[in-house]
Amino acid sequence: MEFLIKINELSKTYLNIPAQSIGIALGIFLFFTILRRIFSKYIIKLISLFTSKTKSQVDDDILRAFQRPLASFIAILGIYLALMYLPLSQAANITITKFFRAYIIIMIAWGLYNLEGTYIILHEKMQSKFNFKSNKILKPFLTKALRFITIAIAIGIVAQEFDYDVSGFVAGLGLGGLAVAMAAKDTLANVFGGIVIIMDKPFDIGDWIKSGDTEGVVEDINFRSTKIRTFSKALVTVPNSKLVDTPIFNYSRRGIRRITFKLGVTYNTPKEKLKGCIYEIERMLNEHPQVDKETIFVKFDEFNDSSLDIFLYFFTNTSNWEQYLNIKQDINFKIMDILEKEGVSVAFPSNSIYFENNLTVDNKQ
């Protein structure tokens, strides 16, 4: 008993707060700490059982987005109620309340930030309700824009809670807008370039494109740049402003890929065998299941320096890089079989030297 009285006297002397009030405040904090654990382990699982039985995916996404913010809110609520129970000054209570209200704003923004990353809500639902077809690029771009707006609004509201003049700050941005625009003209050009890409839709995420010296698969697009994964597995970051000013070849959109080359055979090949090779190669291409039948050319093209050249021009029915290479390899093997069957040899670069006079051999040596 004397120990408790001593603690109470020390509490009043140094903190000006009764020890009983501090004990009750700690009890409130511990209660909400335990409640937070119960919420995270049991209540969330119970709620998820109900949401999983509904036909809509929206409630599941909302629950996942706000799960961590709500769990942290319970802990902050415990701290707030514990502090408000203590006999503090009115100024201290006002400050604590401001911080608590600011955290509520942050918690809501946190949940919305998570929710805006859920493509199901932002895109699939829009497509089903409004028959709106969005490409893959629009999804991450719109998500980043919404998240930026959410953060900006949250910062503005929190600043107002602490009596900062947000309107003055916005006015200051307006006065300095010209200077900012001049300093960040390249950044603004990239942002508008990203908007042009989204509106014009020259490619989508996952498309195989070529722009300038860069060729590969599009992985991501943001406010400043587009990321392209080359076939050598390097990640190339191309500024949007440069991308919109450069011709873009989208191989994925056409669905086919060209194969063209010249096949040189030796000059001693008889005319009939040359005709036979051309006929057999053209027939093989027309019968090949993975060759587009719309455009196939196999023609005797020219008399080259050291070969008779057969010109081949056709398309595969896929633009996938690996499938294209497999088809090309298969066709090359079939052409080799045809040449072997017809008894025709492939020419290689060579030079023939003819002497006007017969060479004499010195038998004495």
Residue 85 placed within a domain: yes
The rounded Cα 218 to chain-centroid distance in angstroms is 7
Phi, psi at residue 263, to the nearest 5°? -110, 110
Distance, CA of 247 to CA of 202 (rounded, Å): 10
Is 313 strand, coil or helix? Answer: strand
The region that residue 203 occupies, defined by phi over 0 for left and psi between -120 and 50 for alpha, beta otherwise, is: beta
Q: What is the pLDDT at residue 148?
A: 82
| Angle formed at CA 22 by CA 21 and CA 27, multiple of 5 degrees | 95
Q: What is the pLDDT at residue 130?
A: 45
Q: What is the pLDDT at residue 126?
A: 53
Q: What is the pLDDT at residue 81?
A: 87
Distance, CA of 11 to CA of 86 (rounded, Å): 12
Distance, CA of 331 to CA of 156 (rounded, Å): 65
Q: Higher model confidence: residue 29 or residue 135?
A: 29
Asked if residue 248 and residue 262 are part of one domain, the reply reads no
The secondary structure of 231-278 as a DSSP string is: TTS-EEEEEHHHHHTS-EEEHHHH--EEEEEEEEE-TT--HHHHHHHH
> Residue 344 carries which DSSP code?
-
Distance, CA of 61 to CA of 218 (rounded, Å): 28
Cβ neighbours of residue 152 closer than 8 Å, sequence gap 6 or more? none
The secondary element (H helix, E strand) that includes residue 297 is strand 291-303
Asked if residue 124 and residue 58 are part of one domain, the reply reads yes
Structure confidence by residue, pLDDT tens digits, 79-97: 888 888 777 778 888 888 8
Segments of 108-213 assigned E as strands: 208-211
Domain ends where: 132, 166, 200? 166
Domain ends where: 253, 272, 294? 253
Q: What is the pLDDT at residue 14?
A: 43
Q: What is the pLDDT at residue 274?
A: 93
The secondary element (H helix, E strand) that includes residue 165 is none
Q: What is the pLDDT at residue 1?
A: 47
Residue 175 placed within a domain: no
Q: Specify the number of domains making up the chain.
A: 3
Asked if residue 66 and residue 51 are part of one domain, the reply reads yes
CATH number for the domain spanning 244: value is 2.30.30.60
Asked if residue 227 and residue 334 are part of one domain, the reply reads no
pLDDT at 4 over 50: no
Q: Global pTM? A: 0.47
The region that residue 91 occupies, defined by phi over 0 for left and psi between -120 and 50 for alpha, beta otherwise, is: alpha
Phi, psi at residue 298, to the nearest 5°? -135, 105
Q: What is the pLDDT at residue 364?
A: 53
Asked if residue 300 and residue 235 are part of one domain, the reply reads no
Rounded alpha-carbon distances, angstroms, from residue 249 to 134, 207, 294: 21, 10, 21
Residue 178 placed within a domain: no
Residue 217 placed within a domain: yes
Residue 74 placed within a domain: yes
213 burial class (0-12, 13-18, 19+ CB within 10 angstroms)?
Answer: exposed
Structure confidence by residue, pLDDT tens digits, 186-203: 666 777 777 777 777 788
Residue 249 placed within a domain: yes
Rounded alpha-carbon distances, angstroms, from residue 160 to 73, 93, 104, 105, 163: 21, 18, 14, 11, 5
Q: What is the pLDDT at residue 281?
A: 95
Six-digit token string for 37: 């654990």
Q: What is the pLDDT at residue 361?
A: 55
What value does the mean pLDDT take over residues 279-297?
93
What value does the mean pLDDT take over residues 216-231?
86
Least Cα distance to 75 among 110, 40, 116 occurs for: 40
CATH number for the domain spanning 289: value is 3.30.70.100
Asked if residue 81 and residue 190 are part of one domain, the reply reads no
Residue 286 placed within a domain: yes
Phi, psi at residue 210, to the nearest 5°? -135, 125
Asked if residue 278 and residue 200 are part of one domain, the reply reads no
Distance, CA of 68 to CA of 59 (rounded, Å): 15
Asked if residue 155 and residue 41 are part of one domain, the reply reads yes
Asked if residue 269 and residue 219 are part of one domain, the reply reads no
Asked if residue 283 and residue 216 are part of one domain, the reply reads no
| Structural domain range at position 198 | 186-253
| Contact (CB, 8 A) for 167 and 215 | no
Asked if residue 22 and residue 121 are part of one domain, the reply reads yes
Q: What is the pLDDT at residue 204?
A: 82
Domain ends where: 196, 219, 253? 253
What value does the mean pLDDT take over residues 142-154?
80
Asked if residue 155 and residue 13 are part of one domain, the reply reads yes
Residue 172 placed within a domain: no
